Chains A and B, each alone.
Chain A
Amino acid sequence: MALKIVKGSIDRMFDKNLQDLVRGIRNHKEDEAKYISTCIDEIKQELKQDNIAVKANAVCKLTYLQMLGYDVSWAAFNIVEVMSSSKFTYKRIGYLAASQCFHEGTDVIMLTTNQIRKDLSSPNQYDTGVALTGLSCFVTPDLARDLANDIMTLMSHTKPYIRKKAVLIMYKVFLKYPESLRPAFPRLKEKLEDPDPGVQSAAVNVICELARRNPKNYLSLAPLFFKLMTSSTNNWVLIKIIKLFGALTPLEPRLGKKLIEPLTNLIHSTSAMSLLYECVNTVIAVLISLSSGMPNHSASIQLCVQKLRILIEDSDQNLKYLGLLAMSKILKTHPKSVQSHKDLILQCLDDKDESIRLRALDLLYGMVSKKNLMEIVKKLMLHVDKAEGTTYRDELLTKIIDICSQSNYQYITNFEWYISILVELTRLEGTRHGHLIASQMLDVAIRVKAIRAFAVAQMATLLDNAHLLTGNTQRNGICEVLYAAAWICGEFAEHLEDPMLTLEAMLRPKVATLPGHIQAVYVQNAAKLFATVLQKHEGETDSQAAQETSQLLIDRLPLFVQSANLEVQERASCILQLVKYIQKLQQKNVEVAEEVTALFAGELNPVAPKAQKKVPIPEGLDLDAWINEPPSESESEDEKPKAVFAKEEPKHSRSRHTEVDEKELARRREARKQEQANNPFYIKASPSSQKVYDAPGVEHIPVVQIDLSVPLKVPGMPMSDQYVKLEEERRQKEKADKKKKEKKKKREKRGKGRKGDSGPESEEDITPAHHVDIVTEEMPENALPSDDDDKDPNDPHKALDIDLDKPLADSEKLPVRTHRPEVLKSPAEDRDDNTIPQETKKKSSKDKKEKKKDKEKDRKRSKEDKKKKKKHKDVEEELPESLPEEVVQSEETKEVAVPPTSADASDLDFWLSSAPVPPVAQVVTVSSSAAAATVDSSSAAAAESEPEELKDTEPDDTKSSKHKKKKQKKEKEEKEKKKKKRHHHHHHHHSDAGAEDSVQNGTVEDEEPLPPMSNYSLLAENSYIKMMKEDADQVCDIQGNHQDESKVVVSVIFENKSDSFLKSMEFNVLDSLNSKLQRPDGAGPHDGLTVPFQLPPGVSNEARFVFSVQSIVMPQKLKGTLTFIVKTDESSTHEKLDFKLHFTCTSYLITTPCYSDAYAKLLESGDLKGSSLRLEGVNMPFHHLLARICFHHHFSVVERIDSCASMYSRSIQGHHVCLLVKSSDQTVSIDAKCDEPSLLGNVLDEIKQTFSKC
């Protein structure tokens, strides 16, 4: 019984589920809208209930209705409710609904942040998955900012299912919150080598998407992608990578060279058409990028063209289409290779598939030559006749015109032919491109002087037969050609055989049905013709003819005077009065022809479309300045006299220049373009700009097809076909003439060898039929070089144009939710906080300000420098295990030791060049195993540091030019004398990349430069090779993930000391329990790592190896061997070299900046255990001492007062190490605190050792 009640209530709750709704809609086909509105009412009721199941059901139905086009945003809050259900079923319904209808404008989205965060960290992977999927659809900048860190953590989730989703969604997060890109990028990069193929593919996807928009920032990833490309077997991943390379090659042609071979191999080997096609595409991109420099890739071009031909010949229309598409890319740079497949492409013109025909047309555009133009156009004209459907016919028409007019009519040898083609095209009923034909007619008639007589005759015939063109509608676009015809006849009336006849044709009553702008041209040109007729009859005794003409005009013009079109009316009444006056004069037998002709005298030259834009602005002219006093605010819109005529508008806008908004400008520009298009004195920049795109909705206008069984033929008009024949004959004749001449020549110079007179006619042999004088476009004097085209400022990807190789600054860390305020204060806060450092207190606020400015400048400068240095890090990519870029914390130390010259021969360059890098000029030479030994002079400068304020961490000048440095030193000295307190911070690091926030070291008083320091120590050496290991291993930790094994990078310089070539170097280490060399996947634990380069005699190069370390509290030693082959001219021998790698505890420390307030808190916390050290007989200035500790042991100075300083460092596993260093006389005492006593003990021992050596 109770069960029954429950059942009943549940049943009622679900009186309509999604299926019922769908069924109901299907059963109410007649009154669907009404039915749905009742359903929506029901849904509203259901949403009011407390039961979440009912709500979820309602939301599910809403999702369906949303698809049908109903706005469901009113239920957004209920959707959020359902999303927050604890049941997966409902949660999923909620997230689905949200993903379908939430967007940035949805205000309840901000309520979801915590719910989403909760779901992201849910123990159930599907809760997380559903949240990620939903979030990917509606992420907003706020959500992205708040959740970026959570998602980033998920990128290292244990389940690949979550990892791949988290990786993929990062792209959306980057788009909405660009600041997250840099902090997240190292991990994203790491995911490129994830063991799970799904995650890997997701990472490739994201990086490809990023790189497509800003390829230059991702160039440094090329080696990694190259490796993936050669190793991956997942075709989806391969396709993405290959597409990415297609985007990268234009930036780095050497990359293309490297790609050609593997791509060619893939083309030969793959059976997947999709992969083959993408390979071909990228090879084409490579060839395009190489085309400037290397001509020697004909084999690759041939391969591509040949593969594409196979695609085009395939019966599969998709392959055919893509084949043509790719072919058109080759066409741009290697037209010759494509032209040999003309047959195939012409064949495609007959294809039943319109898309394919259009692609083939595109190709034809690039395949024409002087020789085949007429033939191709003839074929196209046949297609025009056959074409069904206006869209395709219009496309054909524009293509014919594009093909003929390309590069300044380069391929037209016979303009009579072209004019007749244009005239033939006027037969097209219902085309939208009448004005296109018209502008071509005008253009040719104006610019090719020789053709004018012919053109005028043709146009006269057109005008005479205008009734055939105008048809029945005004909408008919083809009547535009009459505009051109009338203008040409009027302007070049001197070529008319019978101007009277044409004049009569132009004044027919039917003309009044034409569009206004055409009538206006008619009227104006009728006046020109009138002048011509008068001139013709001048001097004749019988003035009858002239007077008849006047009478004709006086009879016909009143029709136009009544026109509703202003322009027509105005011109007609002007001319009418003029003619009436002339008639009066004629009756008095006054000669008027001269004066009338003078009205229209003068040649009109074409002006380049950009001409006006290129007039340089004269000096001292400020276009934005007010000409008059600006109108007062009170002057409101309605006070302004309303413009009666449109022409007054510009006047107003001139005085209110600055108020013209973008839209208005765009509108005007458009209007001006339109005007220019109709103005014969403007010549379009390129044929492509003449293309007119369909306005939306045009296709829905029904176009009445007039079926003419017989192609319309204008009587008395020559057909273009005749010209083809004529031209053929003409060429034959010319050829014959030439042969004759050549024979003559041959007879004269018989000894000069044969010339292939039987060879095919080359392009140059064809001479134009007329002397073609193509008038060039006029440009103003002092025209400025052409302007760059602007990028779309609204592109969201613009914000992602971020240098990823730059090290991370602390301020860039993703916001993490914390309960307590953060321990680390930002430098900005710190500086303004006057309670903390004593020294800053003393400083005047003015000083502070200046400092800030300096700082900003420095930051900019150092960024630039960093860009230069970024390539250093790419070495890591040569290693099998690439490292996340958090290495940067230790960057400072690492880079100090790098000889400056090696920065020039960057590692990407090294990877790209097949030959070894040129020898490094200043190789570090260390003879003893001492850590601090000699280093080349420039790195001595690097170590020099200057007195500074505590938190001023930025290097002042990072230019490595020594000259500059010297100069600055002098300046510095002067300053020092003047003002002791105000120290300008100098830090001549070449490569201070990571230094943005790290604290530098130095003393106040001393000017004495620091002794040079190097981190490279001798590792092992024999007669062939010397290995030097960087003492300060770079250490990297994985952000926020300390429980993972830590990684240590060891840089080793290999120097070839022998006269032989060293190759096949293999680096191997016997792993201990604690430390392991990281080897590529699949390699055994005892396999060696191949050193990724070979060494010619005398050359050295650096390789880096990654070790994973578990415990860092003890120093360790690892035994290793280097095996290599010594290759001399005669023989090659195997050699080996044993070495011992010493991992000091210091090497696990990362230079980490720390602010004094945080430092104080740390010490107060009491978690740290203390220890101390005394050094006797240390005979060096205090700042040297500090510099040494900083340099060799990766500490940073927190605070320094006189000869007392506090220092900080952090281990890769997050141990804090604090030092208090005091110096008096020759005794240095170091009090230290650390949360790991044994680590501290070892570090102190190492510090002691460092100082005992000096």
Chain B
Amino acid sequence: MIKAILIFNNHGKPRLSKFYEHYTEDTEQQIIRETFHLVSKRDENVCNFLEGGLLIGGSDNKLIYRHYATLYFVFCVDSSESELGILDLIQVFVETLDKCFENVCELDLIFHMDKVHNILAEMVMGGMVLETNMSEIITQAEAQSKMEKSEICAFLSLCRPLSFSVPDRTGRRRPGLLELQHAPYRPSRT
């Protein structure tokens, strides 16, 4: 089981939090802080596993994380998940985001948390891995966006266009998350 999925940036600002067990908002924030504290002090070239934090349950749990550019993707899982499998799942997740947002960067996640949630929902459901095939995830996510658009467009074509392009007013180059490639353990593609 996956107990929680957290995404936060290098400063510990949460970009997405999904808990598959109920915690109060305060505990959730504490867990995010604690996880950030544990993860952020680790060097870049050490292993991606951490024996669990204290708040999010027990000795059975592990933190499995990956660091992409400015973001940490942390999965808290119990012993029924394969460590390397989860690492690959994170990679699949980020690659999917990359496809859906076209060169994804932190700003995309900041402004479109809901969309990230929707993509995640196609991969993990209630703490269990639902789908690992990237093209299937993208197909389903896009079909739903299309449906959304067809519903909204009739109504909203009048007002501001609902575009998912990132409002990047500064014109800075957006450092994509996937510039740092990770070696896959690849259970997904046989």
Contact = CB atoms under 8 A, between A and B. Distances in A.
A1222 B80 CA distance: 61
B190 A235 contact: yes
Nearest to A103: B22
A192 interface: no
B100 interface: no
A966 B136 CA distance: 65
A322 B125 contact: no
B151 A317 contact: no
A320 interface: yes
Nearest to A164: B130
Contacts of B152: 89
Contacts of A272: 185-187, 190
B46 A354 contact: yes
Interface in B61-84: 80, 82-84
Interface string A214-239: 00000000000000000001111001
A164 B121 CA distance: 13
Classify the secondary structure of A's interface with B. helix
Given A274-B85, A316-B183, A136 B136 contact: no
B84 A69 contact: no
B180 interface: no
Nearest to A316: B183
Interface string A121-161: 00000100110110011000000000000000000000001
Contacts of B126: 133, 136-137, 168-169, 171-172
Interface string A155-197: 0000001001100110110000000000000000000000000
A201 B88 CA distance: 16
A206 B54 contact: no
Given A168-B128, A209-B128, A274-B186, A64 B160 contact: no
B131 A164 contact: yes
B80 A243 contact: yes
A233 B189 CA distance: 10
B136 A198 contact: yes
Interface in A1-54: 3, 6-7, 10-11, 14, 18-19, 22-23, 26, 53
Contact of B25 (A23, A64, A69, A171): A69
Contacts of A103: 22
A168 B25 contact: no
Interface string A343-363: 000000000111110000000
B10 interface: no
A1002 B50 CA distance: 67
Contacts of B158: 3, 6-7, 10
Contacts of A66: 25
B104 interface: no
A261 interface: no
A178 B190 CA distance: 36
Interface string B111-140: 111100110010001111111110010001
A46 to B, nearest CB: 16
Interface in A822-844: none
Contacts of B113: 18, 63-64, 67
A172 B82 CA distance: 21
B25 A71 contact: yes
Given A209-B1, A272-B190, A318 B49 contact: yes
A63 B114 contact: yes
Interface in A67-102: 67-71, 87-89, 92-93, 96, 100
Nearest to B80: A212
A205 interface: yes
Contacts of B132: 201, 236
Nearest to A66: B25
A60 interface: yes
A756 interface: no
Contacts of B14: 67-68
Interface string A572-592: 000000000000000000000
B47 A356 contact: yes
B129 A318 contact: no
A198 B25 contact: no
A235 B82 CA distance: 11
Contact of B130 (A69, A89, A165, A234): A165
A737 interface: no
A201 B112 CA distance: 30
A11 B47 CA distance: 50
A1188 B136 CA distance: 56
Interface string B1-24: 100000000000010111010101
Contacts of B85: 236, 239, 274
B4 to A, nearest CB: 12
B183 to A, nearest CB: 7
A6 B155 CA distance: 11
Contact of B80 (A161, A168, A208): A208
B49 to A, nearest CB: 6
A1109 interface: no
B159 A7 contact: yes
A760 interface: no
Nearest to B28: A69
B156 to A, nearest CB: 7
Given A63-B114, A198-B131, A352-B46, A89 B148 contact: yes
B51 interface: yes
Contacts of B127: 136
Q: Which of A126, A137, A321 lies at the interface centre, i.e. has the most chain B CB atoms within 10 A of its CB?
A: A137
Contact of B148 (A92, A233, A316, A354): A92
B110 interface: yes
Most buried by A among B117, B125, B167: B125
B47 A92 contact: no
Contacts of A239: 82, 85, 187
Contact of A165 (B47, B125, B156): B125
A318 B83 contact: yes
Interface string A500-544: 000000000000000000000000000000000000000000000
A236 B80 contact: no
A342 to B, nearest CB: 21
A168 B129 CA distance: 9
Contacts of A168: 125-126, 128, 130
A87 B88 CA distance: 35
A14 B160 contact: yes
B47 A89 contact: no
- Residue with the highest number of chain B CB atoms closer than 10 Å, among A63, A171, A233, A274: A274
A236 B129 contact: yes
B151 A69 contact: no
B82 A355 contact: no
Interface of B: 1, 14, 16-18, 20, 22, 24-26, 28-29, 43, 45-51, 54-55, 80, 82-85, 87-88, 110-114, 117-118, 121, 125-133, 136, 140, 143-144, 147-148, 151-152, 155-156, 158-160, 167, 183, 185-188, 190
22 contacts: A7-B159, A10-B156, A10-B158, A23-B111, A69-B25, A88-B147, A88-B151, A96-B118, A126-B147, A133-B121, A133-B126, A165-B125, A198-B133, A202-B130, A209-B128, A272-B186, A274-B187, A278-B82, A318-B47, A318-B48, A354-B46, A355-B50
Given A165-B130, A208-B80, A317-B47, 19 more contacts: A10-B156, A10-B159, A11-B160, A22-B110, A60-B114, A63-B113, A63-B114, A64-B113, A88-B148, A96-B117, A96-B121, A126-B147, A198-B130, A212-B80, A236-B129, A273-B185, A316-B183, A318-B47, A354-B46
Interface of A: 3, 6-7, 10-11, 14, 18-19, 22-23, 26, 53, 60, 63-64, 66-71, 87-89, 92-93, 96, 100, 103-104, 126, 129-130, 132-133, 136-137, 161, 164-165, 168-169, 171-172, 198, 201-202, 205-206, 208-209, 212, 233-236, 239, 243, 272-275, 277-278, 316-318, 320-322, 352-356, 694, 696
Nearest 10 interchain pairs by C-beta: A136-B126, A274-B84, A103-B22, A235-B187, A317-B47, A353-B46, A69-B29, A321-B47, A274-B185, A273-B185
